[in-house]
Amino acid sequence: MKLFLMNKIFKSSIGRKIVMALSGLFLVVFLLQHFIINFTSVIDPKIFNAFSHFMGTNPLVQFVLQPILIAGVLFHFIMGFVLDWQNRKSRPVKYVSYKGSANANFISRNMIISGLAVLAFLAIHFYDFWLPEINIKYIQGDMSGMIHGSDHFRYHEELVAKFAHQPIRVVLYVFAFVMLSLHLLHGFQSSFQSVGFNHTKYTPIIKKLGNIYAIAIPLGFVIIAIYHYNIHPH
């Protein structure tokens, strides 16, 4: 019965949009949590180190929540490509003659482009932070979180090292978060519409909150990158 329902959902255009929207809202919640933790690196390195060590060594986070997150990211992007392909396929006219501006704004027409930019950024981000963590903790077997030969946590120093004296990396991160902002400006409110939430009173409020989120969170990440680039002399 469950397999039948899942099959029916994924064969339905509306069903695919709903699960796409739900996965997007799930990632929005994660992004907020990720931002809050990373912003503590600007406020107090000790708080950032404590958060990072807890998240990096807690079995529930590492072996349950982290795989769910990775699956959610992959699912969201795969479904995005599927829906984009189906939309192009179902158009009554050829793509070259499609008047996109008559049916949607610039951001919504280019969600696949902003999504690809964010996906490329995630690959860089995983290379910068996630893979080194996997190497240290699970290959080298060091779960202490300490700088070698000291009694200080390594997380804040490693974060700063990624941006200090690294103008190209900072520019790439800034560009990626601009693209993320564009993606969220359309994706946040469209997710609520896809799951059937459409209320004359609350929909405008959700739209405003979505716009604030789509600008404030990526801007916050930009501030983090620029801050760590600038706090050290070049």
Q: How large a percentage of the chain has pLDDT more than 90?
A: 61
Q: Is 99 within a domain?
A: no
- Interatomic CA distance for residues 208 and 206, integer angstroms: 5
Which pLDDT tens digit goes with each residue over 166-181? 999 999 999 999 999 9
Q: What is the 3-state secondary structure (H, E, C) of the chain?
A: CHHHHHHHHHHCHHHHHHHHHHHHHHHHHHHHHHHHHHHHHHHCHHHHHHHHHHHHHCHHHHHHHHHHHHHHHHHHHHHHHHHHHHHHHHCCCCHHHCCHHHCCCHHHHCHHHHHHHHHHHHHHHHHHHHHHHHHHHHHCCCCCCECCCCCCECHHHHHHHHHCCCHHHHHHHHHHHHHHHHHHHHHHHHHHHHCCCCCCCHHHHHHHHHHHHHHHHHHHHHHHHHHHHHCCCC
Q: Is 139 within a domain?
A: yes
| pLDDT interval class at 74 (50, 70, 90) | very high
Q: Is 97 within a domain?
A: no
User: Does residue 96 register a pLDDT over 80?
Assistant: no
Q: Cβ contacts of residue 121 below 8 Å, gap of 6+? A: 172, 173, 176, 179, 180
Q: Cβ contacts of residue 108 below 8 Å, gap of 6+? A: 186, 190
Which pLDDT belongs to residue 102?
Answer: 46
| pLDDT interval class at 97 (50, 70, 90) | very low
Its domain, for residue 61, covers 2-92+105-230
Whole-structure pTM value: 0.86
Per the structure, the count of domains in the chain is 1
| pLDDT interval class at 49 (50, 70, 90) | very high
- Interatomic CA distance for residues 116 and 77, integer angstroms: 8
Which pLDDT belongs to residue 103?
Answer: 43
Q: Is 98 within a domain?
A: no
Q: Which residue has the tokens 């509306």?
A: 14
Q: Is 100 within a domain?
A: no
Q: How large a percentage of the chain has pLDDT more than 70?
A: 88
Mean pLDDT of the chain: 87
Q: Is 192 within a domain?
A: yes
Q: Is 203 within a domain?
A: yes
| pLDDT interval class at 189 (50, 70, 90) | confident
